[in-house]
Amino acid sequence: MWGVEGIGEIRPGDQLGEIIVSACAPGTDDELHDGDVLVVTQKVVSKAENRMVQIDPTNPLSHKKLVEQEAVRIVRRRGDLIITETTHGFVCANSGVDLSNVEAGWAALLPIDSDRSARRIGDIVKARLGIDVGVIVSDTFGRPWRKGLTDVAIGVAGIAGVLDLRGTEDALGRTMQVTEVAVADEIAAGAEMVMGKSSGIPVAIVRGIDPRWLRSSSMSELVRNPQEDLFR
Residues that bind its own copies (CB under 8 A): 1, 76, 78, 81, 83, 85, 90-91, 100-104, 140, 143-152, 161-163, 165, 168-172, 174, 176-177, 179-183, 185-187, 189-193, 197-200, 209-210, 221-224, 229-231
Give the end-to-end CA distance of the chain in Å, rounded to a whole number.
35
Rounded to whole angstroms, how far apart are CA atoms 111 and 48? 10
Instruction: Write down the least CB distance from residue 129 to its own copies, Å.
Output: 24
Nearer to its own copies, 33 or 77 (CB): 77
Minimal distance in Å, beta carbon 96 to its own copies? 13
Rama region for 112: left / alpha / beta (φ>0; ψ in -120 to 50; rest): alpha
Distances (CA, A) of 43 to 51, 111, 117, 147: 9, 9, 12, 22
Query: Please, what is the minimum distance in Å from the beta carbon of residue 130 to its own copies?
Result: 26
Min dist. Cβ of residue 27 to its own copies (A): 24
The nearer residue to its own copies, 84 or 124, going by C-beta atoms, is 84
C-beta closer to its own copies: residue 26 or 146 = 146
Q: C-alpha angle 134/207/212, rounded to 5°?
A: 55
What is the spatial distance between Cα 65 and Cα 165, in angstroms, rounded to a whole number? Answer: 42
Close Cβ partners of 84 (under 8 Å, ≥ 6 residues apart): 67, 68, 70, 71, 72, 73, 74, 75, 91, 92, 93, 94, 95
Query: Residue 116 and residue 218: Cα distance in Å, rounded?
Result: 9
Which of 33, 143 has the CB closer to its own copies? Answer: 143
Smallest distance from the beta carbon of 146 to its own copies, in angstroms? 5
Nearer to its own copies, 13 or 231 (CB): 231
Q: In angstroms, give the least distance from the CB of 127 to its own copies.
A: 28
